[in-house]
Structure 1
């Protein structure tokens, strides 16, 4: 069943599926990292987070101000957004590839239309329609899914940033934070 769909969808469907796999891989990687950081923050286990790095930078500066704390946290959070471009690009490219599959499927349909007076070419017509539909569906499913997953990761990062800011703004700043 699945191989039939892939064979009807053609090479463009295969590319869409590969892009989906890459996007999902990077989502899982970021999700695992962010979940571990959130867990460590909640447990107060600073050795397991990058909080120690922030503390070391701020400990070197006596009397660090809130804006400096925020700047350092922002730089750390920026690191957490790595691999976003892969997920975002996959979500953007997938529907475009689906559209490309639709166009190539339609070309096959139009190439078969002049031969449809003979019913033996009806299969070619059906293959073109199938390619058009399967690639469009796959492209949209991948784009929608990866967009939702990317937003989940963004929310996790925002939550981490807020928690770090709260922790450091409440901490004594003159001797280092931890």
Structure 2
């Protein structure tokens, strides 16, 4: 397996959406973690919003980001559980051109080592739409940390080999993925 490095950082334009009926900018620790993490890794925050757990408001917000020429990645925290108010998967999966099945699968695998079988209640998911990667994760700061450090930090890094998501994003400057030969 070849592991070449481009040695060229690709700063992505990322939007962060917190799905919550109760959080505001002062109490949104999950959204704040994602903003800090993406900026620490050299990416750009395009916009951050908090939207109530309403599938039509969620669709409207994310649809605008998908249509935008500025947003390459959308990170969504919250609304992925099993309560009646948790509608993130139902709201956003219909917007996907392709689902990224591996994101939810890998998130639950990593999460299992941290919280055991409670991870079966996570409906984390990912998808691609109009050259925009969308990753939906649970609303806890710990879950966001798991998703970022265990998956997203590498997959949003142009130097990660053999593959990363940057080559699939609109206006990407990344070289194609290496063959797994």
Same fold (TM over 0.5): no
TM-score normalised per structure 2: 0.21
Which is helix-richer, 1 or 2?
A: 1
Which protein is bigger by CA-based radius of gyration?
1
Higher strand share: 2
Q: Which TM-score applies when normalising by structure 1? A: 0.22
Higher relative contact order (CA 8 A, sep 6+): 1
